[in-house]
Amino acid sequence: MIDVILKEKKFFLLAITCCFFISVYIMYYFCAVKLQVINPLIVIYHINKKILILLFIVLLIITTFCKFTPIVKYFHKFRYLLSLLIFIFLVSLNINGSSIGVWNDIVNDNPDIHDTVLLGQSREIRSDEWKAFTPMALSQKYNNYGYFSDIDRATQTDMFMIYGQPVYDISMVFRPFQLGYLFLDSAGGLSFYWCGRLFALFLATYEFMLLISKKRKLMSLLGAILIAFSPQIQWWFSTNGYIEMIISVEVSIILFDKYMLSNNIFKRVIYTSGIMICAGCFILTLYPPVMILLAYVLLGLIIWVILNNRHNFNINIKTGIATLCTMTFFALLIARPLIMSSDTILTIINTAYPGKREYLGGGLTLSTLFDYPRNIIAPITNHMSNNFCEEARFIDFAPLSYILALFLLIKKKQSAKPDFLVLYMLSINILFIIFTSLQMPDIFYKLTLLNKTSVNRITFVIGLTNIIILVRSVYLIDKYNVKFSIKDYVVICIVCIIITSTSLLYSYNNITNKMFGYIFLLVLVTLICIITITLIINNHSCPKLLLVFLMLVLFTSGFLVNPIRTGIQSVYSHGLSKTIHDIVNKDPDSVWIAEGETIGGDYLLLNGAKTINCVNTYPTLERWHSIDITHENEKIYNRYAHIQINLINDNNQHIPKFRLIQGDIFEVYLNTNELKKLNVNYIVSRRDLFNNTTDTNSIKTIYESNVYKIYKLT
């Protein structure tokens, strides 16, 4: 009876703490973000009713959830069927998370057109998605989904290898999430891509966590939520192949484990096929800054699976031959696009950016490692960095993973050997931290290949491995029945709070409102206490409470990062879009540019126009050499680049021909004769170009709205 009362008290305290955190969260959200006020009396006046309602709802959720353990078992049993049904439902509604609605604000030639966002908001900062990746994908329908396209860059462009766009080719077995474009319309294809990757990531991570936690369902669900809905993943959801690489690593390890435990030759061929498809997905992302780092993680996981299954593994000649034949077949499939795109790959390797870019260590700070709590509020406030994408982190509760791993080594039974997986992940974390903190000899960079990475990509993998360490450590604490005293709880809480709070204070230069920051510190203290206690306390209610808590936190920190929208029809409803379509249908071989500080060529690409200055994923050196005869500016345009073309008259000889603005943006200044040399037929601009050239006879206005004009160059 006493034990029951103690457990109920413990649960009650945790519930109250959780409610306290939520109430403070609502306080800063409505006051510091929505109302822009910090006076305590005004705060109380505005939100006391909201807090009372929220406290009631949170208590109701926690109480209900803790009585509903069968829900988790039901989800686990029917997870694939449920996921498939929900996925089909979402795709049928054309639900996606693209920020493509930013184009509506830019074009803005019809106030009656409304964006189709159901929840959240389009993120202008995610220009790699709405301005580059998605227009490239949508332009493929005008190219009949060919491997090469002359619409992008207005010259032959590899659409498969760079940014991995949908094509009609057998190599699409390594681009499964782009398959929707091949049998659905554009809106359906975009929905298939967004929803498919999220469902696949969640399910793959859940299965992976089941493997490392020996089928602890709740901890596996927690791990899946922490990764799939993390700010780090959501801020970079659509580009750089993060999702594909993580899924590939997780699924290949799951299948490798099954391969070693199976004696059925047919199953082993299936597992080998899956592993090789994952290998192709991983390799063909062609993004070394993350590929190299995840290869370190993958190596440790492979060794761990081998060590775990070495006593149960056996193979005969027949099975070995079948495995080798399967691997050879898929290796040839992987080699095919690498050979077809060999010129593209060589061009990229020889670019000034990103080909010649090197990272030589340094740049890591205390806040880089431990300021993850700032991610909780980033999607709903402007009090953060101007480019929060690069500062997005996993909510990994560091340094909790390190502390639990250390306690585990100290407190568990002496007869038990140290866990290889925990030690390995800790080791590569330490390696990465040293590399990003100190200047090492050049030979170290070359041998480890870490010179091809960057500090932000390294912190991405550190956060991922922290979650792996956390889940594995909690499993081992349960397995070895490690006991924690009250003193241990206090020490862990204090250490976590001091390190994380110091990190946040260090990064306050990016938070404009000091009172807002102090409130946030209060929230942080509560958060660390809840996470620490619920992870290590031996009480079945705690993981359930933690699950509810994390769902609430990750709703704002991750789920609200990308908008939830239906379809893409609003982007094509503008007069400018319709006019471009009409011209392209009548004059399909015409070449277009966007001029000046305007919408950019990517909007033209989105509408099927052959566009010179859409995002050039790799350079067209021959084009720029035609107007830069001496090649003196080659370093400027030999790069992945957003290109701004400015029309000038022949008298402006003092203006430099090319100007580098930043690593992936350059300007080029051209007169009408040079535009003709580039075979330009149509120009889209918001300026009156007759005032920018002496050759007015060559320009004719063929469309004009309240914002943009289309000119024909004759």
Considering the chain, what is the average pLDDT of its residues?
Answer: 83
Q: Nearest Cα to 555, choosing from 328, 375, 309?
A: 375
Percentage of the residues of the chain whose pLDDT score is greater than 70: 81
Pick 61 or 577 by higher pLDDT: 577
CB 354 within 8 A of CB 638: no
CB 113 within 8 A of CB 101: no
**What mean pLDDT comes out for the span 443-449?**
83
The 3-state secondary structure of 264-281 reads: CHHHHHHHHHHHHHHHHH
Q: Cα 87 from chain centroid?
A: 20
By three-state DSSP, how is residue 388 classified? Answer: helix
Q: Nearest Cα to 218, choosing from 473, 536, 546, 463?
A: 546
CA dist 152 to 118, 143, 630, Å? 31, 9, 26
Q: Nearest Cα to 518, choosing from 380, 383, 369, 370?
A: 383
Confidence label for 228 from pLDDT (cuts 50, 70 and 90): very high
- CA torsion sign for 84, 85, 90, 91 is positive
Q: pLDDT digit string (tens) for 27-36?
A: 544 444 444 4
Percentage of the residues of the chain whose pLDDT score is greater than 90: 45
Runs of H (alpha helix) within 587-667: 601-606, 621-625, 634-637
Q: Does the pLDDT value for residue 595 go beyond 70?
A: yes
Confidence label for 510 from pLDDT (cuts 50, 70 and 90): low
State the Cα–Cα distance between residues 173 and 177, nearest whole angstrom: 9
pLDDT of residue 363: 76
Q: What is the DSSP string of 133-166?
A: IHHHHHHGGGGTT-SEESSBTTS-EESSSSS---
Q: Does the pLDDT value for residue 555 go beyond 60?
A: yes
**Side chain identity, residue 333:** L
**What mean pLDDT comes out for the span 357-378?**
77
CB 359 within 8 A of CB 455: yes
CA dist 654 to 649, 650, 691, Å? 11, 10, 18
By three-state DSSP, how is residue 683 classified? Answer: strand
Q: Does the pLDDT value for residue 711 go beyond 90?
A: yes
**What mean pLDDT comes out for the span 119-137?**
89
pLDDT of residue 17: 54
Pick 361 or 707 by higher pLDDT: 707
CB 132 within 8 A of CB 602: yes
Helix (H) or strand (E) holding 710: strand 709-713
pLDDT of residue 256: 97
CA dist 163 to 35, 240, 674, Å? 41, 7, 30
Burial, 649: exposed, middle or buried (Cβ in 10 Å; 0-12, 13-18, 19+)? middle
Helix (H) or strand (E) holding 592: strand 591-594
Q: pLDDT digit string (tens) for 256-283?
A: 999 999 999 999 999 999 999 999 999 9
**What mean pLDDT comes out for the span 20-32?**
50
**What mean pLDDT comes out for the span 422-437?**
90
Q: Provide the 8-state DSSP code for 616.
A: B
The 3-state secondary structure of 206-234 reads: HHHHHHHCCCCHHHHHHHHHHHHCCHHHH
Q: Does the pLDDT value for residue 210 go beyond 90?
A: yes
State the Cα–Cα distance between residues 23 and 153, nearest whole angstrom: 52
pLDDT of residue 547: 67
Phi, psi torsion values for 441, nearest 5 degrees: -60, 150
- Structure-block tokens of residue 386: 């101007």
- Structure-block tokens of residue 3: 């034990």
CB 641 within 8 A of CB 601: no
Q: Provide the b/e sequence for 87-97 (b: ≥16 CB within 10 Å).
A: beebbeebbbb
- Structure-block tokens of residue 704: 């004009």
State the Cα–Cα distance between residues 352 and 556, nearest whole angstrom: 38
CB 201 within 8 A of CB 228: yes
State the Cα–Cα distance between residues 389 and 248, nearest whole angstrom: 23
**What mean pLDDT comes out for the span 101-118?**
80
pLDDT of residue 41: 39
Pick 141 or 357 by higher pLDDT: 141
CA dist 503 to 250, 264, 374, Å? 31, 52, 10
- Structure-block tokens of residue 511: 């938070």
Q: What is the DSSP string of 468-507?
A: HHHHHHHHHHHHTT----HHHHHHHHHHHHHHHHHHHHHT
Q: Does the pLDDT value for residue 530 go beyond 80?
A: no
Helix (H) or strand (E) holding 234: helix 231-235
Pick 478 or 114 by higher pLDDT: 478
pLDDT of residue 544: 62
Instruction: Name residue 669's beta-bridge partners.
Output: 646
Confidence label for 39 from pLDDT (cuts 50, 70 and 90): very low
Q: Provide the 8-state DSSP code for 685.
A: E
**Side chain identity, residue 196:** G
pLDDT of residue 546: 66
Q: Does the pLDDT value for residue 213 go beyond 80?
A: yes
pLDDT of residue 490: 78
Q: Cα 121 from chain centroid?
A: 17
699-704/709-713 β-pairing: antiparallel
Cis peptide preceding 399, ω within 30 of 0: yes
- How many secondary structure helices (H) and strands (E) does the chain include? 29, 13
pLDDT of residue 78: 87
pLDDT of residue 614: 93
Q: Provide the 8-state DSSP code for 508.
A: G
610-611/591-594 β-pairing: parallel
pLDDT of residue 244: 95
Q: Does the pLDDT value for residue 594 go beyond 60?
A: yes
State the Cα–Cα distance between residues 657 and 666, nearest whole angstrom: 11
Q: Does the pLDDT value for residue 21 go beyond 90?
A: no
Pick 555 or 580 by higher pLDDT: 580
Q: pLDDT digit string (tens) for 631-658?
A: 999 999 999 999 999 998 876 665 678 9
Cis peptide preceding 354, ω within 30 of 0: yes
State the Cα–Cα distance between residues 337 and 284, nearest whole angstrom: 9
pLDDT of residue 36: 46
Q: What's the half-sphere exposure (Cβ side, CA atoms, 13 Å) at 621?
A: 14
- CA torsion sign for 301, 307, 309, 315 is positive
Q: Does the pLDDT value for residue 579 go beyond 80?
A: yes
Q: Nearest Cα to 599, choosing from 439, 458, 699, 710?
A: 710
Q: Does the pLDDT value for residue 77 go beyond 90?
A: no
Phi, psi torsion values for 519, nearest 5 degrees: -60, -40
By three-state DSSP, how is residue 403 classified? Answer: helix
- Highest average pLDDT, of 180-189, 364-373, 547-556, comes from 180-189
State the Cα–Cα distance between residues 332 and 280, nearest whole angstrom: 10
Q: pLDDT digit string (tens) for 185-207?
A: 999 999 999 999 999 999 999 99
Strand 642-647: give its sheet, edge to edge.
642-647, 665-670, 658-662
665-670/642-647 β-pairing: parallel
pLDDT of residue 12: 47
Runs of H (alpha helix) within 67-160: 70-77, 79-92, 102-107, 127, 134-139
State the Cα–Cα distance between residues 542 and 544, nearest whole angstrom: 5
Q: pLDDT digit string (tens) for 469-509?
A: 999 988 888 888 877 777 777 788 788 877 877 777 766 55
Could you give the angle at which helices 400-411 and 486-506 cross, rounded to 10 degrees? 150
State the Cα–Cα distance between residues 98 and 110, nearest whole angstrom: 21
Helix (H) or strand (E) holding 668: strand 665-670
- Highest average pLDDT, of 398-407, 425-434, 482-491, comes from 425-434
pTM for the predicted model, two decimal places: 0.88
pLDDT of residue 527: 66
Q: pLDDT digit string (tens) for 316-338?
A: 999 999 999 999 999 999 999 99
